[in-house]
A and B are shown apart, each in its own frame.
Chain A
Amino acid sequence: MGGYWLTAVIFTPLLGALFVLAQPEERAAWRAGFIFSLIPLAISIYLFAAFDPAQAQYQFVEQYAWIPQFGISYHVGMDGISLFLVILTTVLFSLTLLYSGGGDIETRPRAFCFFMLLLEMGLLGALLAVDLFLFYVFWELMLIPMYFLIGIWGHGRRIYAAFKFILYTMLGSILMLVAILYLVSAARAHLGHLSFDLPALYGVPLSHRQATWLFAAFALAFAIKVPMWPLHTWLPDAHTEAPTAGSVILAGVMLKMGTYGFLRFAIPLFPEIAIEAAPLFLALAVVGIIYGALVAMVQPDLKRLIAYSSVSHLGFVMLGIFALDPQGMEGAIYQMLNHGISTGGLFLLVGMIYLRRHTREISEFGGLWRSVPIFAAVFMVVMLSSIGLPGLNGFVGEFLILLGTYLSKSLAAEIAVVGLILGALYMLYAYERVMFGPITKAVNETIRDLDAREVAVMAPLVVLMLFMGLYPRPLLRRMEPSVNALLGRVHAAQARLDRQPRHPHSLAALLDSTSVAAK
């Protein structure tokens, strides 16, 4: 399969960004930005149709030399793991651009659309890069537009939030860069030349100590991005202060870069260490699930509540990933999409109500169903998707994750199930205070219901929730070969670990000794 499809999908947003800047009039930016975002969306739908579900390898591959003396190439490809994240990205960008033009963003729409499209390029590039250097470039590239989106169009404490966001992420990124460079230099002895090409770096012989540190560096960068407990505190601030579009993209796609990083880099590059570290990650994931849900429950601000719910949901994703079996991993990828759709939807809805009332304090609302029934009904569906009601998308992911986890580490699944109860509790509790009860504030009597544009933004998400809940087959089928290929690497590593005596300083030995000490 040839063609320039992936290059097209990555760089049309860049063209769009430049095109938007060239608009003579600020207001024209909205139309230009939205229409340009439809091009990558259309391409990604074509990619879905043309994707060969039976293949595990990268498809639509393009590779050109870039900096040959360092072994850096422009190498992009798509497999069953990145396919749906690409579609999620293009869908959410089109919807948020459509939404933002409806009054959410008042100042400097041209610059806003420019940064949004630039961000889309960064995200798509990072998802499709098969070269570590290329990946890192895109990885850093997506931080900058997000930084500006929060910093310029954000709310109240936006500077603090943007600063915290950058501080946290940079900490991880720098370590990851060091790790990439170290890995490449260590691989030179094995390969005979420098190469940043991911497939070439798989299976490079590393000492246990080297692999452990490298894994730790990658894992830290990704865990911050996910974010895993206890590295999550940048998220509530970033979400709360970001404009709606920023929150949607941050939750919908950007957090997935963390979990995606585990699937694409940290686990396949260092499978032995991933196996050894799995108990640690399962434990942190479970803590995140429960902790995120409990803290979400007591938030007075809707956006903070959703932010903490993300910590809980992403805990489920990490649980599925580190179950290291097909059900868990497919469930995790599915749940990444679910979270993008449902949490993206929740942030859009909160944006819509903020636009009307200029507040997100739950106590400012109450009885909204009477004044805005369509809004309330859509919110209900999105909420149910978020809490994993069977029949909607969230359940498919959660069930597979729980199944996969139960089969490998039943205790983790048993605790995680409590998260399902708490999820219903905090979501319904918030919903009740916002939508039900008597109208206590006179301003809430007269707010207007969703307009046609807002319905058009939410309708595709609701349709996706139903479709993915009832007929997940087209998605799961395309993920499976790639997931199995990745797990093949893990199983091979497991076999190697089983053959050799356990390294005394290994993470697993360390974990064992601490658990023994605890007893």
Chain B
Amino acid sequence: MTAQFPALALILLFPAIGVVFNIFVGPRAGRNAVNVAGTGVIFAAFAVGLWAFARLLAMPAGAALEVTLWPWIIADQFHTAIALRFDALSAVMTLVVSGVGAVIHLYSIGYMAHDEDYARYFAYMNLFALSMLVLVLADNLLLMFVGWEGVGLCSYLLIAFWYGNAQFAYNGRKAFVVNRVGDAGFILGILTMLSALAAHGVWTLNFAGLQAHAAMLAPVATMAGLLLLLGATGKSAQIPLYVWLPDAMVGPTPVSALIHAATMVTAGVYMIARLHFLYALTPDAMHVVAVIGGVTAFFAATVALVQSDIKRVLAYSTISQLGYMFMGVGAGAFAAGIFHLMTHAFFKGLLFLCAGSIIHALKGEQDMNRMGALWRRMPITYATMLAATLAICAVPGFSGYFSKDLILERTFEAGDEGLWLLGVITAGLTALYMFRLLFLTFHGTSRVAPDKHVHESPPVMTVPLIILGLLSVAGGWVELPPGWLWGGAFSRFLMPVLCRSRSQAAHGAAGGALGVVAMLATLTGFLLAYILYIQSPALPGRIAARASALYHLLVRKYYVDELYNLIFGRFLFWGSTNVLSRGVDSGLIDGIVDGAGLGVEAAGEVTRRSATGNVQVYAFVYLAGAVGIAAYYVYLVMVR
């Protein structure tokens, strides 16, 4: 059942107003106006989102709100429209994006309080919110792609926000180009699906239409699924396209929280869940999704163990957690993947905001070796960060516990014991690197430079911390084990949209046992972190010295950046410069052309000498030649 709900357009209109205001009026209107407008529009979008959500709850399960704004690309039988669709899945995404987004916009007011370019900042942030909401509200794959590349653009603009730094600018471009590689896969995935449908005379990219004609997609499902997965690995920073995300951390920290942790990077997970009917046709592609997720989760967690930049640790942690989500959707547990996406938005957004609070207090310091013992001086930041850490480590009762546990359980049920084990080991690593981070920053001895006057952040920053802190604790309670209060309310809400074929297995006795194993891994990770970073802080250095090859491999992130650079950077530039530009273009083709030109010039030598070779003479030589030849053929063809 669907109902028309034109007010959906307001969810997009408000951020759009923010963009226009901040570009054209903002710089002159002053900081307060920009703060109010830039943040207010996102709260307004969130409010409309809540309104739509209330409408949706009042409707029967599986219902959707819709509005068609205008026809878009139409050519012959192919037809798309700018149209929005608000079903349970979009509802979750919309509320997460606009809700967490609003909180982070609020935090930005404090974080960017000393930056002169606040209007440009809020313009970009509003544009991001707009694009992300287009992505999650689009009713067809092509409009989704508008949001998809739009968020990539904003990511680029915000990574390179402090454009005066050449390295930041490079990192921004790297993010965009790597994402474009994924986007090429996305486009080809769309084309693959469309050509399969067109063969049957169906020309639609509507999600509803695609689902209705899913049977026609069966022959291309694996191909399309893998191509779209390439797109997802770009946006969601999975192997092989994850390389841009750690470098994206040079942007302002609220950007890292919103775009590179809570929302944009989850777009790949959302897309796969949105196309669940396609992936349901192809166990092979599904398995690839799960394996990429599991391997990425583990791989990124190992790198996070040794990074000393606080945001880099969190970046690799994000990659690792996104890997869990891929594992979840890859196992067919779409709701579990989306559930983890939501709780992750709370706790990882919070972790970044806490990191931002620290960085703000330390005037830009990001190296954990120059932190320590901050908890007394930043109690709110510490308390909220502790909550987020417990959540990401899946401590029972905290939000991450419910979602991560569900993913691991579903992976085990799906028969992927190997992936499950990888997930459990990663859970241990997660506890290790997260408590390492917590201990290095807040505990132990202070290594802060003496000239830094550390202080707790202002309320405009701490209130968002507290809001997300509460959500990190309680955000998982929407999905309780069956029989507990409202039980799996979250999956019940999503299930009609995701309509998983597999039956919803309950958290049974096996589930309990699996959970205990994961918990033991987490506990081990915590104890290791305690021993290494509280009890005997000299130990990590000794281990690094002893296993220096492994340590360097991890610190240099397995040398993947270097490898990519060699192949796609150096080789491409060298070949283009020397082979194509100098060799083929200037050498071969122009050699022929100039040779021919010299011949003509030699023929025109007499004329040239008499007229000093100026422009007009060439013109007349050629015109005369042209007319002469034309006249000759006119004579040949017609007169004779």
Contact = CB atoms under 8 A, between A and B. Distances in A.
Query: Do these two chains interact?
Result: yes
Interface of A: 70, 140, 144, 147-148, 151-152, 159, 162-164, 166-168, 170, 173-174, 177-178, 181-182, 184-185, 194, 230, 232-234, 291, 294-295, 297-299, 325-327, 330-331, 367, 369-370, 377, 384, 389-391, 395-396, 399-400, 402-403, 406-407, 410, 413-414, 417-418, 420-421, 424-425, 428-429, 432, 435-438, 470-473, 476-477, 480, 484
B75 interface: yes
B183 interface: yes
A421 B183 CA distance: 8
A487 B289 CA distance: 42
Contacts, number: 191
Given A326-B75, A399-B73, A410-B195, A233 B166 contact: no
3 nearest CB pairs, A to B: A436-B169, A326-B76, A437-B166
A428 B195 CA distance: 32
Contact of B177 (A389, A425, A480): A425
Interface string B610-640: 0000010011001101100110011011100
A391 B622 contact: no
A476 B142 CA distance: 17
A395 B180 CA distance: 13
A185 B596 CA distance: 31
B142 A399 contact: yes
Given A233-B589, A402-B191, A421-B181, A140 B626 contact: yes
Interface stretch (B33-41, B157-165, B351-359, B498-506): B157-165
Contact of A428 (B173, B183, B184, B188): B173
A70 B634 CA distance: 10
A167 B181 CA distance: 40
Main secondary structure of the interface of B (DSSP, over half): helix
A162 B170 contact: no
A159 B580 CA distance: 25
Interface stretch (B143-151, B326-334, B368-376): B143-151
Given A327-B76, A421-B184, A230 B173 contact: no
B470 interface: no
Contact of A181 (B74, B75, B163, B637): B637
B623 A294 contact: no
Contacts of B76: 325-327, 330, 480, 484
Contact of A166 (B70, B573, B618): B618
Contacts of A325: 76
B73 A476 contact: yes
B169 A432 contact: yes
A164 B177 contact: no
B149 A164 contact: no
Contact of B164 (A298, A330, A367, A414): A367
Nearest to A369: B163
B71 A473 contact: yes
A418 B177 CA distance: 11
Nearest to B185: A417
Nearest to A162: B615
A417 B623 contact: no
A42 B575 CA distance: 48
Contacts of B576: 294-295, 297-298
Interface of B: 23, 70-76, 78, 82, 142, 145-146, 148-150, 153, 156, 160, 163-166, 168-170, 172-173, 176-177, 180-181, 183-184, 187-188, 191-192, 194-195, 198, 572-573, 575-577, 580-581, 584-585, 589-590, 593, 596-597, 600, 615, 618-619, 622-623, 625-626, 629-630, 633-634, 636-638
Nearest to A368: B163
8 contacts: A147-B615, A367-B163, A395-B146, A410-B191, A417-B187, A421-B183, A425-B177, A428-B173
B74 A473 contact: yes
Contacts of A432: 160, 169-170, 172-173
Contact of B638 (A70, A406, A435, A470): A70
A406 B195 contact: yes
Nearest to B184: A417
Contacts of B70: 471, 473
A437 B581 contact: no
A345 to B, nearest CB: 18
A421 B638 contact: no
B181 to A, nearest CB: 6
Contact of B637 (A167, A182, A377, A477): A182
Nearest to B593: A233
Given A421-B177, A424-B176, A174 B585 contact: no
A337 B491 CA distance: 48
B573 A297 contact: yes
Contacts of B173: 428-429, 432
B597 A167 contact: yes
A144 B593 contact: no
A177 B166 contact: no
Contacts of B581: 295, 298-299
Contact of A390 (B146, B169, B184, B623): B146
A215 to B, nearest CB: 18
Given A396-B73, A480-B76, A418 B633 contact: no
A436 B629 CA distance: 54
Contacts of A424: 176-177, 180
A399 B72 CA distance: 12
A174 B626 contact: yes
A399 B187 contact: yes
Given A163-B597, A166-B618, A233-B585, A472 B163 contact: no
Contacts of A436: 160, 163-164, 166, 168-169, 172
Given A295-B581, A473-B70, 5 more contacts: A70-B638, A163-B618, A181-B636, A234-B593, A294-B580
A485 to B, nearest CB: 13
Q: Which of B153, B163, B584, B623 has most chain A Cβ within 10 Å?
A: B163
A173 B142 CA distance: 42
Given A174-B626, A298-B577, A438-B166, A420 B75 contact: no
B187 A167 contact: no
A333 B144 CA distance: 25
A294 B575 contact: yes
Contacts of B71: 473
Contacts of A170: 622, 625-626
A305 B173 CA distance: 18
Q: Which of A166, A298, A370 has most chain B Cβ within 10 Å?
A: A298
Given A148-B615, A167-B597, A389 B149 contact: yes
B164 A437 contact: yes
Contacts of A370: 163-164
A435 B163 contact: yes
Contacts of B191: 402-403, 406, 410, 413
Given A295-B576, A437-B164, A438-B164, A181 B176 contact: no
A456 B626 CA distance: 41
Q: Which of B192, B581, B589, B623 has most chain A Cβ within 10 Å?
A: B581
B200 to A, nearest CB: 13
A70 B635 CA distance: 12
B153 A437 contact: no
Contacts of A185: 637-638
A181 to B, nearest CB: 5
A390 B140 CA distance: 14
A428 B176 contact: yes
A414 B590 CA distance: 30
B454 to A, nearest CB: 30
A429 B173 CA distance: 7
Given A291-B580, A437-B165, A389 B75 contact: no
Contact of B75 (A151, A233, A291, A327): A327
Contacts of A476: 73-75
A417 B190 CA distance: 12
A400 B164 CA distance: 38
Given A396-B73, A403-B191, A432-B169, A167 B580 contact: no
A410 B193 CA distance: 12
